[in-house]
A and B are shown apart, each in its own frame.
Chain A
Amino acid sequence: MQPITISLNGREVSGKQGMTILELAREMGVDIPTLCDDPNLTPIGACRICLVENEQNGDLLASCVTPIETGMVISTQSERVIVHRKTIVKLMLASHPDSCLVCNKGNTCTLRRVATDVGVGMIEFERIADAVEIEQLNPFIERDLSKCVLCAKCIRADQELVVVGAIDYFNRGFDAKPATFGDVPLEQSECTFCGTCVAMCPTGAIMDRGRSYHGTASDEVETTCAYCGCGCSISLGLKGDRIIAITPSKKGGPNNGTLCVRGTCASDVIHSADRLTQPMLRQEEELAPASWLDAIEAAAEGFKRVKGLHGPEALAVISSSTCTNEENYLLQRFTRDVLGTNNIDSSARLHNAVNRAALASTIGIMGANSDLDGLEQSDVIIVVGADPDASAPIVSYAIKRAVKYCGAKLILIDPRETGLSTFADIHIRPDYGTDAALLGGMAKAIVDEGLLDEKTVVEKTNNYDGLKASLSKYTAGSAAIEAAHLYAKANSASIVWGTGLTQHAGGADSVRALINLAILTNQTSGLYALEKECNDRGAFTEPLQGFSALEMIEQIEKGAIKSMLIVGENPILAFPDSGRVEKALSLLECLVVSDMFLTETALIADVVLSSSSFAEKEGTYTNFEGRVGKLNTAIDPIAGSLPDWNIILKLAEAMGSPMPFDDINQVSDEITALVGNESKSGPASFAPVDYVAPSDDTNKEYPFKLLTVSDLYSLGSGTSISHSYRLNKYTSEVYVEIAEEDASKLDIKDGDQVKIATPVGELTAIAKVSDSIPTGTIAIPQTLPTGSANVLFDITLDNETKTSLAKTCNVSLEKVVSNG
């Protein structure tokens, strides 16, 4: 296409057809002030600050929305332009409140900056007082719409980026404002408090709500969010040694300008008063504060003693998927070289082992092999056993954008209704644990109906005949056949899956079944295994002959393991059967725990080491896409804490075998040198699945199936995020979803207190009667503000992957207290 040439401030410049005047001006280094423009949003030409003059005909044009046209004579600084810009800013300021002076937005306010830049001078308009009430009911977002300039960035962020649809324009004329449908408070709307609008708002109209945080950030540090497997790029706004604001990085990252409520708010844990500010030692049954020297010494002594008495196999280490790659690497070396055992495992196994097993044996990869952009560009997306709204918010945004704005078709496979249900073209609701059969049925439909290029499949893959033979036992219903057609005919199809698939018995088989689908249709580059914690993908390593984390619990009970180092993990809550785990851990002769908080596990430790948060250290996390996110030190370690990597080095030294590293960068270098390409190459292999239907094992005593689900406001093992006062304030109670029919049978109403019990444990929760789950099932979040659903589960290991099956179990349900 011919470039288009225009005159810009007297200079001949050319740009591509379709480019706006603003884009071309920016390319040419000409500055035009803007308020409503944002590179991530559709331009709308609302604020009119960006007006320029076409001197050819005297038209004033909003440069952000006007495409360049041959022959334009554009002036960005003509007298008329200047007058107009001033008028616009004056109009805005004339209805701006006096509280502007004390606004937390301070020098980051774009309105103030533009006002200074254009030099408004005296405002001749009468002031219009805008009696707007400040909305501050929820703990996350505060809105003072008297400061709103109606740039509609928040509206567009909500609709175009996170696709929530909580807010839109409301009212007309002077009363127009961004508001929820019916102008109800945010918490009564669809709002997820993701904070994307907060970050976008050019003024102080929408602010992050942290009562203790006042003032404006004077510095920003880019780093990586630690609160799920998405690894969003974030920017920590600092004032002195405090983190006072968290916004999406301006440099993109997987999240491209968006965040979720955990990303924006959960980091208040960093400055939580509950944090450990010094190590602790058990003295006469009680944990008492201790110096670093004494604590490290005591830990090393403990390990040495046990090793001396029982040999190195009596030692074991559990690391965490919230530790960095570097820390995990150090721990591996520490365990093998310093302690002299192979007994190291990470909580990543609980989340990740199933995917590893299935992916490695078929197409030889470690996790998702494409990025979120690829997902967004797919024309057909299958989501199975995942509720990314809660577990991986930015994945959900990408899926919703693909459906809403790019016409992608969504096939949702989930027994429950989730936030994606309304976006789905096909929603199949299989019984729990029967996904493999459904996926097998789809594969059968693809083969039977010739929806594949069989010749190429035969040539390029292994074991097609094996697969074909295995498919005979499946049948496909009409929805599955329709889904198979959609998927097989797509140009670019993706499958997204999560714990709903992997945490069932035979989870790896279910994953294999869906990989088979992808191989059949040559869509293997669209496989997205979601990860739960920030470094699940990086922290997972195949144990070398040692015991897996849950096996270690059994080994303690057998007396084989006598001492343990646990870094950044809280097994009592994170592992199934909390009671049993706690009992086992208290049998240890020496338990050393490194954590930011005095967790349930730390409470029974002999040595507690106070560790630092992700904002206080360097390192890397590997997100679910396989993208390596860099951590940068934003603030010095909070008084009395040390980063885990530092703790490990100190321990090694105290054990008498110092490790050859002075700082974390040396560790990264060594890892880079060691690790080659993650993935194997070679033809993809089908993995026939020997599916066994789950038997209905509910019984009279425990007649309900309990399902653990992800919750947006509480994630992880409760190690860290449960200390976020804002998240806690929002969800301080445990809710259990109960299907309408069951609720009415048991005479349970919304808000009643109910008891859920299994042979191993029980908990009470508030009933939430819901039509989105199947009858006979109840659902509670895996992580609860006050504990964990794991109290209800026993330790059942998946034969193949030694991971736990803490997705469903049989429970009893009874009403305890009626709600009013």
Chain B
Amino acid sequence: MDFPKIKSEAVADWERFRNNQKTHILVGTATCGRAAGAIDVLDTLMQKIEQRGIDAEIAQVGCMGHCYAEPLVIISKPGSPAIIYGYVTTGMASVLVDNCLLKDDPCLEFALGALEENELIPTIYDMPRFEYENRLILRNCGDIDPQNINHYIVNGGYAALESIFKMTQEDVIDQIKKSGLRGRGGGGFSTGQKWEITKNAGGKSTYVICNADEGDPGAFMDRAVLESDPHSVIEGMIIAAYAVGAAQGYVYVRAEYPLAVETVQHAIDQAKDMGFLGQSIMGSKFNFEIEVFRGSGAFVCGEETALIASIEGKRGMPHNRPPYPATEGLFGMPTVVNNVKTFATVPLIIENGADWFSAIGTESSKGTAVFALAGKVVNTGLVEVPMGTTLRNVINDVGGGVPHHKKFKAVQIGGPSGGCLPESALDLPVDFDSLKEAGAIFGSGGMVVLDEDNCMVEAARYFLDFTQKESCGKCTMCRLGTKHMLDMLQEIVNGNGKMEYLELLTDLAEDIEEGSLCALGKTAPNPVLTTLRYFHDEYEAHIIEKRCPALQCKNLIAYYILPDKCERSCDACVGVCTAEAIFSGKKRIKVVDQDKCVKCDTCVAACPPEYNAIIRMSPASSVPETEKRPEKAKK
């Protein structure tokens, strides 16, 4: 293989893509963009451009991370700075074509910022988030066309692969060990060590599996990487395969990620065509094939032993470790299982050296962390920061803080089995160990911000409900223990809790953590334990006072219309009430018939903001005595 030649061809391709004298339009069409309507925007742009006869090239790129502002469109016209537009609708797309492309109006009202320094508008890099962000894993996401291998090559892709053939297997493993890379799949096990064990297990054959199951409903960074920069993962897998001596690899992607499946498959085919995969990789003696396996499995299928069972054609259920996959994995052979992001990091380490990598992050956690920021935060989306960045920086500076001037209450980190950390924990540097200490986990990298309107008991119940339903059912602790915990939480939010429950919950949670077979069970009680630890008063309020401090738990609240705020002539609430529970009382002041109210919350939204007369009260008994509905005259 003539890598220099491939590279120069790639450069030429990239130049055509980026730097010629034509107008360029990039549309982010990863799943996050598509969900927001990116394909319609793309179609509109293409139609319009053709109609208007504009000479412009449109390309699709992956996820840019600003998922809150999807669909995103970047326009770069010769002579003016590249500008990124957010929240683009089909209507806006037409306007952009007519005004920005046809005329010279840059439509700054739609712009998020420019991508390069200019006189006109600030660049997006001036946004506070870029002070904290360091995009290593997401390095190419949103910048390149994921369908085009040349884009990856031009940005340094496959250079690491080229260099390993001068190294021994041990050298590669040493580099990864020295870099301090820990698995990004949640467990945080040393990747180099895992590879070393696998290599030394000396199986008849050895496998490399990329875990892209990503079963946590709130997390989508693995999907984003696969859809936006698939070759970074493939290259990482090939390097791993070389290091451990594997000839066969699998990418285990959930079937609910069709675009990721398609993109990865396409990338594999391309890599094979060009000689980065398959027989005699890059002219060496090394052979390696990758197959995409579509998992239709459950959350638990992300657990490595369950995942392996699933590839073997069995029901995806975890089994005891040891044996660990590294010694007895797929078909009983030594197997490396790493997360998407772990693999995507590997080429960078090989290329830039272990020292470069270990300079980023904290003492025990090197490199960067990717979070899927969601919930009550302004900038939802993907965030990549160096390990050790504080939660406050991530939520407030990168995430833009809690919207609508509400008060921050907690952040749930690590997916459904992560922990809920309070305001006081916000100065924690995020890394594997400090999160664990605080009761959360790195987990899937999901980060859900909760504000004052979120009840913490309900939050715990909500997350446990997910893990309980997703428990594979194999072991007693997880199957039955979490069910009992869930039932108790349900009783508490229903207002039927007992104080004994709190101790029982804690004891049971500890039993489950210690006695479950796999990490699903071992971590499932985390939300309950952390909320008990940091928000004990909310539990007590629910149980003793039958009060939900966040006014969220339906059974513990009542709706009340403040008589002095009600604008008598307005009937907005009466009309929307689904239960016909609101009636006009004396002097036409509206009153909620508590017996009829189903607590659907529609009236609160309907009451015009200038009156703001309807409030929730808890406990329900705190609602002042109101007028009774007059008996209807019988006909």
Contact = CB atoms under 8 A, between A and B. Distances in A.
Given A95-B480, A169-B315, A169-B317, A125 B504 contact: yes
A172 interface: yes
Please classify how large the interface on chain B is, using the bins under 10, 10 to 19, 20 to 34, 35 or more.
Answer: 20 to 34
A44 interface: yes
Contacts of B317: 169
A128 B469 CA distance: 16
A83 B481 CA distance: 14
Interface in B500-531: 500, 504, 507-508, 511, 514-517
Contacts of A46: 474-476, 517
Nearest to B320: A65
Interface string B462-479: 000000111111111101
A150 B320 CA distance: 16
A94 interface: yes
A60 B512 CA distance: 11
B472 A174 contact: no
A134 B507 CA distance: 34
Nearest to B468: A173
A150 B487 contact: no
Interface in A161-177: 168-169, 171-177
Given A66-B320, A128-B484, A150-B473, A174 B315 contact: no
B266 interface: no
A91 B320 contact: no
Contacts of B469: 172-173
B517 A48 contact: yes
A51 B356 CA distance: 45
B479 A173 contact: yes
Nearest to B481: A91
Contact of B515 (A84, A149, A152): A84
Interface in B159-182: none
Contacts of A173: 468-471, 473, 479, 482-483
B392 to A, nearest CB: 34
Contacts of B320: 44-45, 62, 65-66
Judged by DSSP, the binding face of B is: helix
B4 interface: no
Contacts of B500: 124
B517 A174 contact: no
B470 A92 contact: no
A169 B517 contact: no
Nearest to B504: A124
Nearest to A125: B484
B48 interface: no
Given A66-B322, A169-B473, A176-B471, A150 B479 contact: yes
A174 B515 contact: no
A87 B475 CA distance: 13
Given A48-B515, A87-B508, A124-B504, A176 B473 contact: yes
A87 B476 CA distance: 10
Contacts of A760: none
B45 interface: no
B474 A150 contact: yes
B473 A171 contact: yes
B474 A174 contact: no
Interface string A28-68: 00000000000000001111110100000000101001110
A88 interface: yes
Q: How large is the interface on A (under 10, 10 to 19, 20 to 34, 35 or more residues)?
A: 35 or more
Nearest to B299: A172
B479 A126 contact: no
Given A124-B504, A172-B298, A173-B470, A45 B475 contact: yes
Contact of A44 (B322, B474, B481, B487): B474
Given A66-B322, A168-B315, A91 B484 contact: yes
Contacts of B511: 83-84, 87
Nearest to B477: A48
B479 A174 contact: yes
B319 interface: yes
Contacts of B508: 87
Contact of B319 (A45, A95, A126, A174): A45
A175 B482 CA distance: 12
Nearest to A124: B504
B599 to A, nearest CB: 25
Given A150-B473, A173-B468, A84 B514 contact: yes
Contact of B476 (A65, A91, A126): A91
A325 B488 CA distance: 65
A128 B483 contact: yes
A172 B472 contact: yes
Interface in A141-160: 149-150, 152
B475 A126 contact: no
A259 B487 CA distance: 41
B518 to A, nearest CB: 10
A284 B322 CA distance: 80
Given A48-B475, A88-B477, A172 B315 contact: no
A88 B521 CA distance: 14
A125 B511 CA distance: 14
B533 to A, nearest CB: 21
Given A124-B504, A176-B471, A60 B484 contact: no
Nearest to B487: A126
Nearest to A155: B315
B327 to A, nearest CB: 11
Nearest to B517: A45
Contacts of B482: 173
Contacts of A150: 473-474, 476, 479
Contacts of B472: 169, 172, 176
A174 B487 CA distance: 11
A172 B472 CA distance: 5
A128 B483 CA distance: 9
A674 B590 CA distance: 108
Contacts of A126: 484, 487-488
Contacts of B484: 91, 94, 125-126, 128
Interface of B: 298, 300, 315, 317, 319-320, 322, 468-477, 479-484, 487-488, 500, 504, 507-508, 511, 514-517
8 contacts: A46-B517, A48-B517, A88-B476, A92-B476, A94-B480, A150-B474, A174-B480, A176-B472
Given A48-B515, A169-B315, 19 more contacts: A48-B477, A48-B517, A60-B514, A62-B517, A66-B320, A87-B477, A87-B511, A88-B476, A91-B476, A94-B484, A126-B484, A126-B488, A171-B473, A172-B470, A172-B473, A173-B482, A173-B483, A176-B471, A176-B479
Which 10 A-B pairs rank lowest in CB-CB distance, beginning with the nearest? A176-B473, A65-B320, A91-B480, A174-B483, A173-B469, A45-B320, A173-B471, A87-B511, A60-B514, A46-B474
Interface of A: 44-49, 51, 60, 62, 65-67, 80, 83-84, 87-88, 91-92, 94-95, 124-126, 128, 149-150, 152, 168-169, 171-177
